[in-house]
Amino acid sequence: MPELPEVETVRCGLAPVFEGADLVKVTASRPDLRFPFPKNFVSRLTGARVDTLGRRGKYLLAGLSTGETLIMHLGMSGRFVIDDGTAKTPGKFNQAPACNPVHNHVVFYCNNGKPATVTYNDPRRFGFMDLVATQALEDCKQFKAMGPEPLGNGFSVVAFNAALKTKSAPIKAALLDQRVVAGLGNIYVCEALYRAGISPRRRASSVAGRRGERLHSEILTVLRAAIKAGGSSLRDFAGVHEDLGYFQHRFEVYDREGEKCPKCDSEIGRIVQSGRSTFYCSGCQR
DNA sequence: AGTGTGTCCTGTGTGC
DNA sequence: TGCACACAGGACACAC
């Protein structure tokens, strides 16, 4: 679900509660999400202190005092809700659609000066959590083959073009591949290709070069703008606090099939690539 | 090896 | 209103 900007927004919202907090108690209401929780999940967390809350691609990383890191992925519909006693309606899940408490799967009882609970709610259960030794984080299965962080130093134009050059798949598929660049999902891939004026059907190898430079730049622009806007705003996504305005951001092509292109007035189309909808403008994406 | 397809799961919106 | 159906932001297992 959430792509890099949304995960980053969640990280920013959770950090004040999580960082420095003792996990006084942790509960899991079922043995698995998408995958089984790791062995002794609850007991390995209980009593640990959260030292840091980071992010890699679409994953949240809670660095623990025990030497392990809690890896959390929100899947399509995962969200965290904080109750620190200051909400207008304490304990009430607040964004529309309301979180059904049936899907509250993990509760972290935190204390970093004052007590708060962080509840993980995930109707579709496409999310997952894992615990790995912090020392071996880079080598764990989730990150071993992951590409560079787009807003970090490793995402250079040269490296990006080099990665595209060897790929015969459509550029749309290449950008969704987390080994090429981390954190992009269906929405921001559509948006970046639109802004760069590149057809989603074009072979990735044919994008390497001038088009690759442009695409690289538009990926950065669109991600930065979305983070600035506080994450994007699909109805399925909620920030961690009741009153954060996450529902204002609109996309230029995503979910706008049949509407006019803002740039060239052509009609925005939708095609299916690797089973996912691609929204694009055939007038200005070549 | 690289690429495309099917699958996990529930909720929501559309059309009849 | 009730129902069936399509579709949803991700990642992985699998077949070619």
Whether A231 is covered by a domain: the verdict is yes
Question: Of the candidates A114, A57, A59, A52, which has an alpha carbon nearest to the alpha carbon of residue A82?
Answer: A114
User: In terms of domains, do A132 and A178 share one?
Assistant: no
User: In terms of domains, do A135 and A171 share one?
Assistant: no
User: In terms of domains, do A104 and A63 share one?
Assistant: yes
Whether A207 is covered by a domain: the verdict is yes
pTM as predicted:
0.93
Q: What is the CATH number of the domain that holds A254?
A: 1.10.8.50
User: In terms of domains, do A117 and A233 share one?
Assistant: no
User: In terms of domains, do A226 and A103 share one?
Assistant: no
> Which nucleotide is nearest, taking the CA of residue A279 and each C1'?
C9
**pLDDT for position A87:** 62
At residue A70, the 3 state secondary structure works out as strand
**pLDDT for position A252:** 93
pLDDT per position as a tens digit, A13-68: 899 899 999 999 999 999 999 999 999 999 999 999 999 999 999 999 999 999 99
Q: What is the CATH number of the domain that holds A51?
A: 3.20.190.10
Q: Where are the alpha helices (DSSP H) in chain A?
A: 4-18, 41-45, 157-165, 171-176, 186-196, 210-228
Whether A37 is covered by a domain: the verdict is yes
**pLDDT for position A86:** 72
How far is Cα A53 from Cα A190, in angstroms, rounded to an integer?
29
DSSP secondary-structure letter at A140?
A: S
Whether A145 is covered by a domain: the verdict is no
Domain that holds residue A212: 157-281
The encoded tokens of residue A191 equal 């948006």
Which positions of strand B lie within 7 Å of protein CB atoms? 2-13
Distance A197 CA to C5 C1' (A): 35
User: In terms of domains, do A258 and A161 share one?
Assistant: yes
Distance A277 CA to C5 C1' (A): 18
**pLDDT for position A198:** 97
**pLDDT for position A243:** 36
User: In terms of domains, do A89 and A166 share one?
Assistant: no
Strand B neighbours with CB under 7 A? A 34, 76-77, 97, 100, 102-103, 123-126, 166-170, 173-174, 204, 235, 274-275
Let me know: does A184 contact A150? Beta carbons within 8 Å: yes
Work out if A144's Cβ lies within 7 angstroms of strand C: no
> Which nucleotide is nearest, taking the CA of residue A186 and each C1'?
C9
> Which nucleotide is nearest, taking the CA of residue A77 and each C1'?
C9
Q: Give, for A280, the enclosing helix (H) or strand (E).
A: strand A276-281
User: In terms of domains, do A211 and A183 share one?
Assistant: yes
How far is Cα A159 from Cα A147, in angstroms, rounded to an integer?
10
Of A106, A139, A172, the last residue of a domain is A139
At residue A194, the 3 state secondary structure works out as helix
**pLDDT for position A94:** 37
Total domains, chain A = 2
For B9, nearest residue by CA–C1' is: A124
User: In terms of domains, do A180 and A109 share one?
Assistant: no
Give chain A's residues under pLDDT 50.
Answer: 89-96, 232-237, 242-248
Residues of A with catalytic roles: 2-3, 58, 276
Whether A44 is covered by a domain: the verdict is yes
**pLDDT for position A240:** 56
**pLDDT for position A247:** 40
Work out if A124's Cβ lies within 7 angstroms of strand C: yes
